[in-house]
Amino acid sequence: MRAKSFVLVIAFLFSFFTIPVIQAQDDVFQELEEIAVVEEKVMMPMRDGIRLATDIYRPKTDQKVPVIFSRTPYNFNTWQDGEKKTRTAEQALEAVKRGYAFVVQNERGRYFSEGEWDILGTPLTDGYDAFTWMKDQAWSNGKIGTIGCSSTAEWQMAVAALDHPSHAAMVPQAYGAGVGTVGDFQEQGNWYRGGVEQLLFFSWLYGVEHDKFKPRIPEGATQEDLIRISRFYDLSPENPPVDMAEALKHLPIQDMLKNMNGKKEIFKKMVRRKPNDTAWFQGGLYHDTMDFGVPSFWFASWYDVSVSPNIALFNHVRENAEDPEIRENQYLVIAPTLHCGFTRATENTIVGDRSVGDARLNYEEQIYSWFDLWLKDEKNDFKEKTPRVQYYTMGINKWQAAESWPPKDAKMVSYYLSSEGNANSPGNGKLTTKKPKAKGTFDSFTYDPMDPVPSLGGNVCCTGNAVEGGAFDQQEIENREDILVYTTEPLKEGVEVSGFIETTLFVSSDAKDTDFTVKIIDVYPDGRAYNLDETIQRARYREGYDKEVFMEEGQVYELELTPMATSNYFEKGHSIRIEISSSNFPRFARNLNTGGDNFDEKEGVIANNRIHHTREHSSVINIPMIRN
């Protein structure tokens, strides 16, 4: 009797919480049906005959309307029985209410779209062909804006380089994996940072890639057939759960997907590509050798995996687009959130373990004002009301505005590394504005790739349970002997750090190759040490990614690490700290230190590494500071 009562209670609670949600979802669809023409599973033809599955929501009007277009590798199928929905219907409803057609499409080879999928949805012409098809529809006014976050954003930049006449504006959000090379960054779509593999794609591809043996819809299936099938069968695979914290430890890394019983076709070819492989330049990545032809409203975030290259791309377009009108019409928002976490900011936004205050922003209002300007030719006040760069400063926890990045009043201050020979925590490593005068001084540590420094928070995404992103107190991890710690004296007055943070290290090692990592940290008076950003450099690529130059024991080498970026106010009494090591795992793949290919190796060697801080070899970090 008790068991029966318990079941009834659970059933009641389930219905109590789920019925309102289902009702709200049903209300969205009911409202859409009242105000919109809905066309599901329209098979849009590409130039090679492949058809891409597309849903179209457009206002019930005889007037021609502009288009907001979202193209994605993710599943946007919506079942109208209340059991499974996506945000697609809500996005479509908002767009239609505002007088737009909302068009969402799967990349080729994804779900109901025909063809074979490759990362970033190559060929690049698919985006161009979609613009042409939409422009030619009787209901279209010929102007198209693109929007999306992460993989729904990353295809937009390279297509913008094609400068389709109907591609009138774009809103790319958390778009780093669409950036191949820009300025100091040669990340090849977030696959690398400083020549080191970022393991996020090892996890992401496991969950996303469809099996080559997947069921396929027969050729020639009608729109009616596809709509009917999608109600009960949406081609969305359910992969067995994987403990990524364990799975990402597997060696060699080229067998990591195989070890997870994952789909490995795309991964297998990518894992063997080195940073300058010509294949990176043949797909859907944007490289700074391309022009750029679209006004853009960019969205980045401080704890995203690629905030620095994201901002670098914004700067590149502003400075280098051939068309001066394009250069002039670039705007940027930088939020204090994780990957695609913009709208999840609250009155008390927590990122990792650190509160960054009320980080909310009127994103939707600004985005639609942007689209109204470019897609409807409205003479609105977007440009008058919207700063060129809106950035959130942690520490004082407020939104700020600037005409450029870094803000023009940021001045670089050089902090040199120094110690009494023991920066291993708890040691005596210091950051000081005085250039060292001594000779032969250095700090040393031993890096064992079989016992790497574990990632603790950071600027990450997509790694499952392997790494939790955000700011976390680094004190415990700093007790490891393989981490060097350099800290300023407590600040006598508060200072804002906003901009790119540049690091030059003078290093040596008894290994042919190894990595060097850096974190920048805000240290509170009570000892809490919150990470802000991090970077890494593989020593063999110190002279460029087109060649590998190995180290010789006893030689000192100069390393320029890819810049970090943040906006953080260090209050009076706080200190600025950097950590240096040779691993940050599993955020980044381990260097096995052998000088081999690394991706096909299982055994590593221990590296004894040194950071030099002498008059001749002055390791330094340059920090952009704004003093009131």
What does the alpha-carbon distance between residue 261 and residue 115 come to, in Å, rounded to a whole number?
A: 24
By three-state DSSP, how is residue 66 classified?
Answer: strand
Question: 163: burial class by Cβ within 10 Å (0-12, 13-18, 19+)?
Answer: middle
For the stretch 231-284, pLDDT in tens is 888 888 888 999 999 999 999 999 999 999 998 889 999 999 999 999 999 889
Structural domain that includes position 598: 411-626
* Residue 364 belongs to a domain: no
Q: What is the DSSP letter of 628?
A: -
Residues 6+ apart with CB under 8 A from 514: 447, 538, 539, 551, 582, 591, 593, 607, 609
- Which residue is it, tokens 């945000």? 87
pLDDT under 50: residue ranges of the chain = 1-22, 80-84
The 3-class SS string of 150-170 reads: HHHCCCHHHHHCCCCCCEEEE
Q: What is the pTM of this model?
A: 0.94
Q: Is residue 418 part of a domain?
A: yes
Does residue 196 belong to any structural domain of this protein? Answer: no
* 3-state DSSP assignment of residue 79: coil
C-beta separation of 335 from 329 below 8 A: no
Peptide bond into 237 cis (omega under 30): no
Q: For residue 25, what pLDDT is reported?
A: 59
- Domain assignment present for 322: no
Burial of 222 (0-12, 13-18, 19+ CB in 10 A): exposed
Cα 417 from chain centroid (whole Å) = 30
Rounded Cα distance between 103 and 68, Å, is 6
Q: Is residue 316 part of a domain?
A: no
Domain with residue 442: its CATH number is 2.60.120.260
The number of domains in the chain is 1
The DSSP secondary structure of 332-376, one letter per residue, reads EEEEEEETT-GGG--TT-EEBTEE-------HHHHHHHHHHHHHS
Amino acid in position 381: D
**Is residue 593 within 8 Å of residue 512, measured between CB atoms?**
yes
Q: What is the pLDDT of residue 123?
A: 66
Query: Is 571 within the bounds of a domain?
Result: yes
Cα–Cα distance between 230 and 54 in angstroms, integer?
A: 13
Within a domain: residue 551? yes
Residues 6 or more apart whose Cβ sits within 8 Å of residue 255: none
Q: Within a domain: residue 417?
A: yes
